[in-house]
Amino acid sequence: MTTIREGSAIAKKQLAQRELLWPGAEQWLWHRKANKGFATIPKTMPIVLQIMDDLSNGKPLSSTYLGLWCATWDNSMINVSRPDEMAHAAGFTGQRATYTWQGRVNLLKELRFIEVKPGKSGPISHILLWNPHYIIRWHHSVKTPGLVESNFNALLERALEIGANDMMEAMPVAAPPPPAPPPPTGPAESAAAVPAAAA
């Protein structure tokens, strides 16, 4: 596991190496601290996205998820005001672009990577991104079909290399809640659905 001090030393060595290989390139590079409009992502993201696609049964989720992540303000939440723009950012074009994007969002929800709330933009107005490491660990624990063991192990190895403790330490007590059940259809069922503490 790489410590903060070791990571700093590696970064300094790479900067020196970069200057030797590409002298004078500094002004042409993108810098997080000098330029606005950035998103913080885990270094495991490439493997996380691959695992999502493994789980999606032939309907790739990676571009949709990455688009959602880049739309946050480091708070894991998105207010969807222009779903057509979100669809375009995810690579969907044509008349069915927004419809296809919405389908991918719903699939991400079914796989528990996100939670969705309705609002003024329709059924998909507000989105919360759960910690993908926790969700992938949960899928591994319940043996969700499609999860490739070698990719999960690669994620673990990468997490160990970079010190991503959320892949090793105890997870929260419960997994994110599943989608809400349908509303009750009759008086008896409605009464039974109310928790005793809230009655």
Residue 16 near residue 26 (C-beta atoms within 8 A): no
Phi, psi of 30 (to 5 degrees): -90, 130
- Residue 5: what pLDDT? 73
Q: Is residue 116 within 8 Å of residue 127, measured between CB atoms?
A: yes
* Number of neighbours of residue 183 by Cβ within 10 angstroms: 8
Residue 117's DSSP bridge partners are: 126
Check: CB of residue 94 under 8 Å from CB of residue 113.
no
pLDDT tens digits, residue range 31-89?
888 888 889 999 999 999 999 999 999 999 999 999 999 999 999 999 999 999 999 99
Give the percent of the chain with pLDDT over 90. Answer: 75
Does residue 191 surpass a pLDDT of 50? no
pLDDT tens digits, residue range 17-33? 999 999 999 999 998 88
Distance between CA atoms of residues 37 and 32, nearest Å? 8
155-182, pLDDT tens digit by residue?
999 999 999 999 999 988 765 655 555 5
pLDDT, mean over the chain: 88
- Is residue 92 a contact partner of residue 100, using CB atoms and an 8 Å limit? yes
Dihedral sign for Cα 145, 148, 152, 158, please.
negative
Smallest CA-to-CA distance from 113 within 154, 54, 32 is with 54
Q: pTM of the prediction?
A: 0.82
For residue range 82-128, list pLDDT tens digits in order. 999 999 999 999 999 999 999 999 999 999 999 999 999 999 999 99
Give mean pLDDT, residues 143-153. Answer: 97
